[in-house]
Amino acid sequence: MLNRRQFIGGTAALTLGAGLDLKRLLAQGTADADMAFINGRIHTMDAANRVVSQVLIRNGRIATIGDTVPSQGVRTINLQGRTVIPGIIDAHNHIVLVGNRPGWNTPLEHVFTIPDAVAALKARAAGVPRGEFITTIGTMSAMQFDERRLPNLSELDAVDHPVFIIAAQGGARVNSAAKAWFEGKGIAIPSTDGTIAGMPQGLALQMLRRETLTLETRKRSAMDAMQYYARLGITTHRDAGAFHSDEPSTGVANENTNTMHNPFLALDREGKMPVRLRIDFLHQDSPNANPPLPTLSQRLRNSFPFFGDEWLKTGGIGEFTGGGLEGLRAIAKAGWRAEDHALNLAGVTGLIANREIVNAEIPITNLRWIISHIPDFNMDLANRMNAMGMGVLVGWGPTRTGMNVGPPYRMLMNHPIHKGYHSDGGDITVINPWLNLATMITGKNLAGQQILGDQNLTRQEALWLATAANKWFIWEDDIGSLETGNRADLVVLDRDFFTVPEDDIRKIRSLLTVVGGRIAHNDGIV
Ligand SMILES: [Zn+2]
């Protein structure tokens, strides 16, 4: 790999001559040296679902892909038959919340037993200054552990630091050191097993935010979050916002939505973004506010949609538009994308009816409006949304419980409506794409219960939703599939997604994640 000085001294002159913008190259770092991969099983996810063996990456893009690419004079990596997929696009999650967590936030979405979780926390703590908090906030679930519970106080005491964990779908624990720290601040934790719940849990989170968060710690968390999910194959996140709080909040899903992007913006300015981030703006104006649409009107007046660089870009309004019909009208008039989520049949039916009213006045058919989650959904609703050019985001399965809880993947796959994959993870469920894909394929949640009825997908279909199908939702055509001219976002997997036993899908990781030709994660194969 060339270092930056070698690159500037050598190739930059050529790329300048070729008309590339040197300032942009310096601002964003540079593509790693051109690379060729050979002897792989490269699933392109192109329109023909081609599987090829070689790809040549040049200047951050795919120069050639097929079974014989010209690789003379280029650094060549023999994949030894390993499986390669396009970088995964999570078209709606809460990575910006994860990037603003207090403490040394340590996602635990890749471990499946309590001893492995404790080992991961201990490994993390080894590099952390004495006395500082190790946290896992929102990025784990009790359901994922074979024990079907969270680690308790005595288990977490194996970590020689204060530990505070809050699981998606509820449950929080402290170890003895954390308990002592919080009790020293006046927050009583009466349990003996480390359980902290209700008001004390919120106050503890707020106290930790108040006392430890700085722009520097947030930048560290933002980088850690993006790198953690690069190890799981995500190369593009579309963030769906947070609930706004001016002050440090007691809520896992709350942040200051005016400042929470700052750590990511700082990393982008420094050219350090390991993966791509797309930002949507969540608004919650009351339909009865006076003057109307106090925050949404300012957003539409003072921000730009789809503005930024290839690493970090704004998007639309969501995952709440707020403001009722007037809010939707304002967004349609401004020509922005809009997204709301639906949690039940009545909810999604109401959202669609409102969009039909607005669409009759101000056409939205070219604005790619989205409804996400849709656990309850049917073909009639799909027809009505499709008539307005809308799309649905589905996923968020691993932590759902119940019978036939949807979404109806099979029906959607056979329907012309635009559909894509989202995890919705970061606060109420998990982001790990392999946990989500495993549910879509097996129909089982993290506890092994069947939740999808007859609506499960093939592996090819599930991966398509998380890659090529999400081009439409990101509104970018040059990621999501491995084709000549596209950005070089690809993942070399540690096992073959297409043939491993179903129960092993959840364990898949990346050996090598490349984003725009830059190595974002490398397990030593390059
Ligand atoms: Zn969400």
Place of tokens 């469920």: 429
Distance 104 CA to ligand 1 centre (A): 23
Residue 185 has pLDDT above 70, yes or no: yes
Distance 319 CA to ligand 1 centre (A): 6
Q: Mean pLDDT across the stretch 122-143?
A: 96
Residue 14 has pLDDT above 50, yes or no: no
Under DSSP, the state recorded for 497 is T
Please give the structure tokens belonging to residue 227.
């790198």
Distance 78 CA to ligand 1 centre (A): 39
Average pLDDT, the chain: 93
* Cα Rg of the chain, angstroms: 23
Q: What pLDDT was estimated at residue 31?
A: 58
* pLDDT per residue as tens digits for the range 403-428: 889 899 999 999 999 999 999 999 99
Distance 34 CA to ligand 1 centre (A): 37
Please give the structure tokens belonging to residue 185.
């601040």
Distance 241 CA to ligand 1 centre (A): 7
CA distance linking residue 473 with residue 262, whole number of Å: 24
Please give the structure tokens belonging to residue 250.
């007691």
Helix runs in 185-323, H state only: 198-212, 215-230, 262-269, 296-302
494-498 own/partner pairs: CB under 8 Å, 24+ apart: 494/523, 495/83, 496/41, 496/82, 496/83, 497/83, 497/85, 497/437, 497/459, 497/463, 498/43, 498/83, 498/459, 498/460
Distance 270 CA to ligand 1 centre (A): 28
Q: What pLDDT was estimated at residue 29?
A: 42
Distance 479 CA to ligand 1 centre (A): 22
Distance 159 CA to ligand 1 centre (A): 32
Q: What pLDDT was estimated at residue 71?
A: 81
Q: What pLDDT was estimated at residue 340?
A: 98
Place of tokens 């770092």: 29
Find out whether 391 and 91 touch, Cβ atoms under 8 Å: no
Distance 253 CA to ligand 1 centre (A): 9
Residue 7 has pLDDT above 50, yes or no: no
CA distance linking residue 320 with residue 243, whole number of Å: 10
Residue 21 has pLDDT above 70, yes or no: no
Q: What pLDDT was estimated at residue 169?
A: 86
* pLDDT per residue as tens digits for the range 225-257: 999 999 999 999 999 999 999 999 999 999 999
Distance 83 CA to ligand 1 centre (A): 30
Work out the number of other CB atoms within 10 angstroms of the CB of residue 300.
20
Q: Which SS3 state, helix, strand or coil, does residue 177 take?
A: helix
CA distance linking residue 524 with residue 526, whole number of Å: 6
More confident residue, 89 or 32: 89
* pLDDT per residue as tens digits for the range 258-314: 999 999 999 999 999 999 999 999 999 999 999 999 999 999 999 999 999 999 999
Residue 108 has pLDDT above 80, yes or no: yes
* pLDDT per residue as tens digits for the range 354-373: 999 999 999 999 999 999 99
Work out the number of other CB atoms within 10 angstroms of the CB of residue 285.
22
Q: What pLDDT was estimated at residue 306?
A: 97
Distance 92 CA to ligand 1 centre (A): 6
Residue 217 corresponds to which amino acid? T
Distance 424 CA to ligand 1 centre (A): 4
Q: What pLDDT was estimated at residue 33?
A: 76
Distance 97 CA to ligand 1 centre (A): 11
Residue 141, Cα to own-chain centre: how many angstroms?
Answer: 16
Find out whether 207 and 187 touch, Cβ atoms under 8 Å: yes
CA distance linking residue 77 with residue 203, whole number of Å: 51
* pLDDT per residue as tens digits for the range 133-162: 999 999 999 999 999 999 999 999 999 999
Residue 74 corresponds to which amino acid? V
Distance 240 CA to ligand 1 centre (A): 5
Distance 365 CA to ligand 1 centre (A): 23
Q: How confident is the model at residue 12 (pLDDT cuts 50, 70, 90)?
A: very low
* pLDDT per residue as tens digits for the range 463-505: 999 999 999 999 999 999 999 999 999 999 999 999 999 999 9
> DSSP labels for 367-399?
S--EEEE-SS--HHHHHHHHHTT-EEEEE--TT
The model's pTM: 0.93
Distance 93 CA to ligand 1 centre (A): 6
Distance 229 CA to ligand 1 centre (A): 17
Please give the structure tokens belonging to residue 357.
């009213």
* pLDDT per residue as tens digits for the range 62-94: 999 999 998 888 999 999 999 999 999 999 999
Work out the number of other CB atoms within 10 angstroms of the CB of residue 53.
18
Distance 393 CA to ligand 1 centre (A): 10
Q: How confident is the model at residue 32 (pLDDT cuts 50, 70, 90)?
A: low
* Sequence-separated (6 or more) residues with CB below 8 Å from residue 490: 42, 55, 84, 85, 86, 87, 482, 513, 514
Q: What pLDDT was estimated at residue 18?
A: 33
Distance 394 CA to ligand 1 centre (A): 11
* Sequence-separated (6 or more) residues with CB below 8 Å from residue 163: 121, 133, 134, 135, 156, 173, 174, 175, 177, 178
Please give the structure tokens belonging to residue 212.
């430890």
